[in-house]
Amino acid sequence: MRTQVAIIGGGPAGSLLSLLLGQGGIESVVLESRTKDYVLSRIRAGVLEKPSTEWLRRAGLGKRMDEEGFVHEGINLAFSGRIQRIDFSELVGGYVMVYGQTEIQKDLYKALLSHNDVLLDEAEDVALHDIGGSSPHVTFRRRGREERLDCDFIAGCDGSHGVSRESIPASLRDTYERSYPFGWLGILSETPPVNEELIYANHPRGFALCSMRNENLSRYYIQCDLDADIEAWPDRRFWDEIRRRLPAEAAERMVTGPSIEKSITPLRSFVSEPMQHGRLFLAGDSTHVMPPTGAKGLNMAISDVILLADALTRYYEEGSKEALDNYSDIALRRVWKVIRFSWWMTGLMHRLEEEGDLGQKIQEAELDYVASSRSAQTALAENYTGLPLR
């Protein structure tokens, strides 16, 4: 089997890259280790930056997003018993779109499979070969058969636990990482959201986040110990705790109900450089991971893919390798700015036990400064709604 671009990973990054390449007449094959049904069942982030929505529309994926998604023109910071709204529209003319990653994945699979069956799921034991040479290829096992896929380039979109990043020799990789000593305990409930826009809450007991999926599906999180036992958090305890961490005006109007999904998410900041080696190019979680505090993971995967698709298109249409050669440097400039923003938001909103009560007071002072400073609010709005691609 041969193609022009072999794509490892059939999540949003790999699927979008395949779609964009196909629209430009470039052949690709996507190898996904899981079943399509499994990929579609994963509950993931649901906040899209303004640039992400624009790129998805250009790719022909905007119809259902615009019909069913929720445009938010601001977020709310809760601290010291008060709520401060950050008005994206007024500050920077921006917005975010609440539209679940699961829905984006459905749209991508529908678009891919409508024109070409380029997605091979249940591809196991994937291995990358000759990525630094002139004959890159991928071997894998699918439905009991050993397969080989020859290609011009390989795109590693297989997440933080995939094989792509590890295929780059360790001596050529620099990694930067911070694992946080706490996690997020999250629930999904079929209840109306407590607020029409997200609430990020700083509280001496720990961080809380009030989010949503739709008008009757809410997503809530609270900061918890990393080793917390999820069985020790029945629904009633969760609802009592999140209400303690919110200002009274929000806590009083919160509608509670049984959870339909409950999980604990660890938080870490991670970057592996470079994002390319030879004929292999990395995108999304395969090369960077950030805390979900700033809602950036999916958006960064999309921005990486936009850059990579453009670089590959220029190579095939113009014969120019300049954009491919510079892909890692260009992408990393944006990656590090977003890593910084997620690190800042995480440090600002969470209880940091090592900092004690002094740290809590400093957080409250900084939040009060943000609330009183248009410049600080503008910087937050610029970063939250999406930085330029380059």
Do 364 and 79 contact (CB within 8 A), yes or no? yes
Assess whether 350 carries a catalytic annotation.
Answer: no
In whole angstroms, how far apart are CA 8 and each of 154, 184, 318?
Answer: 7, 29, 25
Assess whether 292 carries a catalytic annotation.
Answer: yes
Active-site hit among 99, 180, 220, 384: 384
Active-site hit among 72, 277, 288, 350: 72
Active-site hit among 193, 292, 315, 327: 292
Kindly report the three-state secondary structure assignment for every residue of the chain.
CECCEEEECCCHHHHHHHHHHHHCCCCEEEECCCCHHHHHHCCCCCEEEHHHHHHHHHCCCCHHHHHHCEEECEEEEEECCEEEEEEHHHHHCCCEEECCHHHHHHHHHHHHHHHCCCEECCEEEEEEECCCCCCCEEEEEECCEEEEEECCEEEECCCCCCCCHHHCCHHHCEEEEEEEEEEEEEEEECCCCCCCCCEEECCCCCCEEEEEEECCEEEEEEEEECCCCHHHCCHHHHHHHHHHCCCHHHHCCCCCCCEEEEEEEEEEEEEEECCEECCEEECHHHCEECCHHHCCHHHHHHHHHHHHHHHHHHHHHHCCCHHHHCHHHHHHHHHHHHHHHHHHHHHHHCCCHHHHHHHHHHHHHHHHHHHHCHHHHHHHHHHHHCCCCC
Residues of the chain with pLDDT under 50: none
* Sheet with 145-150: strands ordered across: 123-129, 137-142, 145-150
The pLDDT of residue 43 is 64
Do 275 and 212 contact (CB within 8 A), yes or no? no
Active-site hit among 95, 99, 180, 200: 200
Do 150 and 276 contact (CB within 8 A), yes or no? no
The pLDDT of residue 214 is 85
- The phi and psi torsions of 33 (rounded to 5 degrees) equal -70, -30
- pTM across the whole model: 0.95
The pLDDT of residue 213 is 84
In the chain, CATH 3.50.50.60 sits at: 5-70+99-176+268-345
The pLDDT of residue 42 is 72
Assess whether 200 carries a catalytic annotation.
Answer: yes
Active-site hit among 277, 296, 315, 350: 296
Residues 6+ apart with CB under 8 A from 284: 9, 11, 12, 13, 157, 159, 297, 300, 301, 304, 305
- Domain 181-267+351-385: assigned CATH number: 3.30.9.10
The pLDDT of residue 247 is 97
The pLDDT of residue 329 is 98
The pLDDT of residue 201 is 98
Assess whether 296 carries a catalytic annotation.
Answer: yes
Cis amide prior to 234 (ω within 30 degrees): no
Assess whether 50 carries a catalytic annotation.
Answer: no
The pLDDT of residue 115 is 66
The pLDDT of residue 38 is 78
Q: Which CATH architecture has domain 5-70+99-176+268-345?
A: 3-Layer(bba) Sandwich (3.50)
The pLDDT of residue 157 is 98
The pLDDT of residue 117 is 60
The pLDDT of residue 45 is 66
The pLDDT of residue 36 is 82
The pLDDT of residue 113 is 80
In the chain, CATH 3.30.9.10 sits at: 181-267+351-385
